[in-house]
Amino acid sequence: MKYDWNPNDSASIVRMAIALKESGRDIVYSISNSCPLSEAVRCKEYVQVFRTGGDIRARWSKDREHLNLLDNWKNHNKWLREGYEGGPGHTPDADFLMVGLQKYGSDDSLTVDELYHHVSSFMLWGTPLLLSCDLNALSEFEMSLLTNVEMLDINQDRLSKPAKHYDHGNGIELLVKDLSDGSIALGIFNFNNEETSVEVPWSEIGISGKKNIRDVWRQKNIGTYKNAFKTMVRPHGCVVVKIIDK
């Protein structure tokens, strides 16, 4: 049940939670649309899904009546850092996926790299994967974004721990997610307008030793790395790898 009003307030959050519980039915309780950081404790106690920002649109950076993807990135990472990161049964919600909502040739459109960037962030955050589009009209590429089993496994990992955000510098930011099998999912996100070479030292993300690296989107093992991982990242794009103890 999506309870949608703005701004949220404690009394209404609790009142609706009690009413749903007294119904005797199993109901997922979602509040929207901009749950303030001040309500983090209430969300932890009473709510299963809680929005971390306003509505978004399929725009990289253009300002309009709704948030663009850069706004969404900043809002959600701030909420995870300063509010409540969630856990089993409690999930911060970054809004709908923009897959299938492209208006090609208009301001409301994303490049292929920007779509990888967008979907990868949702997968690593562990946010609900919500669609609001005609599934029959999805392109083969858009469908591939939604059906990559290894990416879905990261999103649905039973630890339910969202990725931690790191500012690598020079227009590069990282999302690092601990997984239940002991491995780590690393997302390298390029906010620059040009392809960028990125090297992530293990010390930056708190690990050490030799690691096997698997490209998650391509579902391909790419080698063993000792002290760091280096790769090229396309403009507004990302690379997602799984780091596995050797």
CATH number at residue 170: 2.60.40.1180
Residue keyed to tokens 């999805």: 138
pLDDT over 90 at 109, yes or no? no
Domain boundary, last residue among 101, 122, 155: 155
Same domain, residue pair 59 and 139: yes
Instruction: Give the closest residue to 115 by CA, choosing from 52, 189, 55, 224.
Output: 189
Q: What are 2's strand-pairing partners?
A: 30
pLDDT over 80 at 170, yes or no? yes
Same domain, residue pair 217 and 124: no
The structure's pTM equals 0.94
Same domain, residue pair 9 and 101: yes
Same domain, residue pair 151 and 175: no
Per the structure, the count of domains in the chain is 2
Same domain, residue pair 171 and 73: no
Same domain, residue pair 96 and 192: no
Domain boundary, last residue among 107, 126, 155: 155
Domain boundary, last residue among 91, 124, 155: 155
Residue 32: both structure tokens together = 């929207």
CA 66 – CA 87 distance, rounded (Å): 28
Q: Are 48 and 32 in contact (CB under 8 A)?
A: no
Same domain, residue pair 145 and 217: no
Same domain, residue pair 139 and 204: no
Same domain, residue pair 151 and 38: yes
pLDDT digits (tens, 9 = 90+) for 33-71: 767 778 888 888 899 998 888 889 999 998 777 899 999
pLDDT digits (tens, 9 = 90+) for 205-230: 999 999 999 999 999 999 999 999 99
Same domain, residue pair 45 and 128: yes
Parent domain of 209: 164-245
Instruction: Give the closest residue to 244 by CA, choosing from 217, 218, 209.
Output: 209
Q: Are 163 and 216 in contact (CB under 8 A)?
A: no
CA 197 – CA 234 distance, rounded (Å): 9
Same domain, residue pair 128 and 208: no
CATH number at residue 104: 3.20.20.70
Ramachandran region, residue 193 (left: φ > 0; alpha: ψ -120 to 50; beta: rest): alpha
Residue keyed to tokens 């706004």: 71
pLDDT digits (tens, 9 = 90+) for 11-35: 888 999 999 999 999 999 998 876 7
Same domain, residue pair 124 and 143: yes
As a whole number of Å, the CA-based R_g of the chain is: 18
Which pLDDT value is given to residue 207? 97
CA 42 – CA 83 distance, rounded (Å): 11
Average pLDDT over residues 183-197: 99
Q: Going along the chain, which residue ranges are E strands?
A: 2-4, 30-32, 49-51, 91-93, 164-169, 172-178, 184-190, 196-201, 211-215, 220-225, 228-233, 238-245
CA 100 – CA 56 distance, rounded (Å): 14
